[in-house]
Structure 1
């Protein structure tokens, strides 16, 4: 598993680092806009198994929530970190919440940026029934399944499309203002798409037991974009009924990728969370 480690003002054991967990269509690079300023905390950026530069020896049957969570915590323990500030986007937000529930003593905080939770789980379980409410996710899941079925040609096709204007049109629903998103960012997202891994991740959350999250003890920030197609308002409402110390924020002029569209706003929210 590929890990990027940035050192702050202390030794690894001195405090809780910022641990960044990306979504199912990305890699650690989607957090670059949040890393432009120096931090007093150390940073750990991870390409989760199957994504980014962590594709070697990754097996689709192992890309479930529990296995990915164990891979992340093994890395953090090997770096001698005993407490963690978890920052997750989309699937990474889901994973951060799971880690905080499974290791409540070690999770110092969770920031879940547009976490794909209850609605996406239902849509993955019953796609046709959920199509009217989650057309973007159901459509993407079916496309990813089709691309995964053709083997290595699937990711290759996505990379080719990523260099064309068509990819911008396909990604437009995920942003509040698609015209403000650079062609470089679109190419980056296209390059990091892994159809088989996306399909495996969707399967993994379809029957997840969300009652596990009642074990979370740390402070949790959960955000969604005002025009977020993957994280609807009722997801945050259900999360508030499940997680005790939860603060929710809807970010205006924002879609599913607040870390790309509104990084300054996200940074302010993170600092508020970590200063508590």
Structure 2
């Protein structure tokens, strides 16, 4: 059942928990969270778009309430098929895909492998994967070690170590933001997160770099100024697909939508209304 309301209402379709907000007759926007996130991460963003867009926010496999799924769902293609089934149930033919980090990688995958379902791409701190086989293997090994830790009952310690990475240093400077982030992440099942990490980690997904020139939709790649790795990735993507625009948000790192919410919302609104 599709509900329309000011706040996203939890639903289940194709095994993926999700929420919708707005009128299904309006342009559709699909929100895809990052690793350890969930559909509720987009609540403030969705409320900002209320009345103009039909918003769908999903718990990706292994996250939130999207748990206990068939093993094939915990892969990039399996997650993509689950999302497409969800859109079919909501009678959404094409949607603008808004993805953060892991969700951005999935958004790129959907746009390239299922282009008829994508109206545009708004990417935040996202990459097309790793194009070096040795680097992919090393990343898979590192992710396997993290997955074992998640399954070993060390979730609190894992979270502290995860957000101690240089990638998240700008976020960690705000003690209250870090506290709220850790609190939300603890709502996930660590064993389910381990499945996601093994199947949807950067080392497990197919590299999409060579496919980027085939994109045919508007794309904006957003990154934080202090996240130099992903600033570089966004520029490299643009070189392969000149139709892509990039935006670097000053003074923030990997998690732009949490660290600079108003700037992020302004970029998103502009993209949705002008692309």
For normalisation by structure 2, the TM-score amounts to 0.80
Tell me by how many angstroms 1:76 deviates. 0.4
- Confirm whether residue 188 of structure 1 aligns to residue 184 of structure 2: yes
Tell me whether 1:176 sits opposite 2:176 in the alignment.
Answer: no
Aligned twin of 2:145: 146
**Which of 54, 58, 69 matches 1:46?**
58
Instruction: Name the residue aligned to 1:94.
Output: 105
Specify every segment of 5 or more residues in structure 2 that has no aligned partner in the other structure, as ranges: 1-14
Residue 247 in 1 paired to residue 245 in 2?
yes
Aligned length: 253
1:120 Cα offset (Å): 8.5
Q: What SS class does the counterpart of residue 123 from structure 2 fall into?
A: strand
Identify which of structures 1 and 2 has the higher relative contact order when contacts are C-alpha pairs closer than 8 Å and 6+ apart: 1
Cα distance in 1, alignment partners of residues 80 and 20 from structure 2: 21
- Look up the SS of the partner of 1:241 in the other structure: helix
Q: Which residue of 1 aligns with 2:256?
A: 258
Q: Which residue does 2:11 correspond to in 1?
A: none
1:157 aligns with 154
The CA deviation at 1:5 is 3.0
Shift of 1:123: 7.7
Q: 2:82 aligned to 68, 71, 88, which one? A: 71
- Please, what is the CA RMSD of the aligned residues? 2.8
Aligned counterpart, 2:21: 7
2:48 to 22, 37, 41: 37
Structure 1 residues 161 and 16, CA gap change in structure 2 (3 angstroms): same
1:170 match: secondary structure: coil
Indicate if the aligned counterparts of 1:16 and 1:82 stay in contact, CA closer than 8 A.
no
The normalised TM-score by structure 1 is 0.79
8 Å Cα contact 1:20/1:87 also seen in 2:
yes
The one of 50, 59, 68 aligned to 1:56: 68
Pair 124,3 (structure 1): closer, same or farther in 2 beyond 3 Å: farther
Offset, 1:37: 2.5
> Gaps (5+ residues) in structure 1?
128-137
Q: Is residue 151–residue 194 contact of structure 2 (8 Å, CA) maintained in 1?
A: no
Mapped partners of 2:99, 2:245: distance in 1 = 15
Question: Aligned partners of 1:124, 1:28: CA distance in 2, in Å?
Answer: 31
C-alpha distance after superposition, 1:70-123 (max 9, x if no partner): 111111011111120110000111111121122323311110110033458778
Distance (whole Å) between structure 2 residues aligned to residue 161 and residue 58 of structure 1: 25
